[in-house]
Amino acid sequence: MEKVDLSNIRPYGDRLNDGMVELSFTFPIPPSAEAKEAARKYVEQLGFKEANVVWMEGMGEAFTFFVVYAKSEKAIDMRTVRVPKIKYPIMDYKTLTAFMERVLTRPLVVVGACTGSDAHTVGIDAIFNMKGYNMDYGLERYPLFKAINLRAQVDNRDLVKKAVELGADAILVSQIVTQRNVHVENLKELKRIIERTKGLKPHLIKIVGGPRIDHAFARKIGFDAGFGPGTLPSHVASYIVHEYLRRVKRAPKGRATGGLCRG
């Protein structure tokens, strides 16, 4: 393959830098030849060239779903791209457990929930569940975590109340539904409640996760760390332990088994 020029990255279709992209979207009209042509014209209005509707399918009576191939002439200079990342060593379950036994004098208390109206439990369970997720044990499995998962549709006040009651070292909130930025309002509310609540540990680590969450977003909204799709429980466990040590006492050196977390 030809050498990639990092200052000029364009989408790859079947040749380097051909700029081919695939877009999918829905129009609130039934399928027809006119609907198909409207989708093609719409994509060209977005600035793409050579738009070609390769799939059109009715969704219910009043909607149509399209897949369109088109060419973009835009390029991105990779050298200008910066993404905030959480920097800490990722340890696997066994290594981290041994590390925790060596450096901690008591179990760390972590309380988690999917809060607000959000009913999705699978994400928060993936991080907490004893059986684990994707061959990686959840926080409940670690002998030196006291891990409490309140599950979904939990009121922010109840999550914070539980954190006070148990003397939590970390609070973990899952936000899956992001329609109309409902997660932003919910997280801002949680942040306000945390700020106003007495009795929380001064070093409380505030973590948010979900499919549309990243570290930059979490920091912007006042949380300490954000974890997105593909997060494994050991990523979160490693972060909590290292961040706790950083905040409470100097972290001794541990042997990391992975790279730095993607955040």
Q: Which residue is listed with tokens 């977390």?
A: 261
User: What's the CA gap between 195 and 102, in Å, rounded?
Assistant: 33
User: What's the CA gap between 172 and 159, in Å, rounded?
Assistant: 9
> Of residues 94, 131, 188, 220, which has the active-site annotation?
131
Residue 43, φ and ψ in degrees, nearest 5: -65, -35
70/172 with CB nearer ligand B12: 172
The residue sitting closest to ligand B12, measured at its beta carbon, is: 209
| Contact call for residue 231 and ligand B12 (CB under 6 A) | yes
Give yes or no for a contact between 10 and 17, defined as CB atoms under 8 angstroms apart. yes
Question: Where does this chain touch ligand B12 (CB under 6 A) — which range of 37-45, 88-96, 172-180, 193-201?
Answer: 172-180
Question: Where does this chain touch ligand B12 (CB under 6 A) — which range of 73-81, 100-108, 158-166, 176-184?
Answer: 176-184
> H or E element: which one contains 225?
strand 225-227
Question: Where does this chain touch ligand B12 (CB under 6 A) — which range of 24-32, 59-67, 175-183, 245-253?
Answer: 175-183
Q: Is 131 a catalytic residue?
A: yes
Question: Where does this chain touch ligand B12 (CB under 6 A) — which range of 19-27, 118-126, 136-144, 252-260?
Answer: 118-126
Interface with ligand B12 (CB under 6 A), residue from 20, 139, 236, 240: 236
Task: Please report the DSSP string for 78-131 in residue order.
Answer: GGG--------B---HHHHHHHHHHH-SSPEEEEEEEBTT----HHHHHHH-TT
| Contact call for residue 121 and ligand B12 (CB under 6 A) | yes
Contacts of 205 (CB under 8 A, 6+ apart): 169, 170, 171, 224, 225, 240, 243, 244, 247
User: Would you state the torsion angle of the CA atoms of residues 127, 129, 132, 137, taken in this order, to the nearest 10 degrees?
Assistant: 80
| Contact call for residue 221 and ligand B12 (CB under 6 A) | no
Q: Which residue type sits at 141? A: R
Q: How far is the CB of 31 from ligand B12 (least distance, A)?
A: 21
Interface with ligand B12 (CB under 6 A), residue from 110, 154, 170, 207: 207
Interface with ligand B12 (CB under 6 A), residue from 126, 148, 160, 241: 126
User: Measuring CA to CA, how many Å separate 52 from each of 13, 34, 228?
Assistant: 14, 14, 33
Tell me which residues in 18-77 interact with ligand B12 (CB under 6 A): none
| Contact call for residue 257 and ligand B12 (CB under 6 A) | no
User: What's the CA gap between 214 and 87, in Å, rounded?
Assistant: 14
**Contact pattern for ligand B12 over residues 130 through 159, marking x by CB under 6 A:** ---x--------------------------
Q: Which residues bind ligand B12 (CB under 6 A)?
A: 112, 117-124, 126-127, 133, 172-174, 176-179, 207, 209-212, 227-231, 236
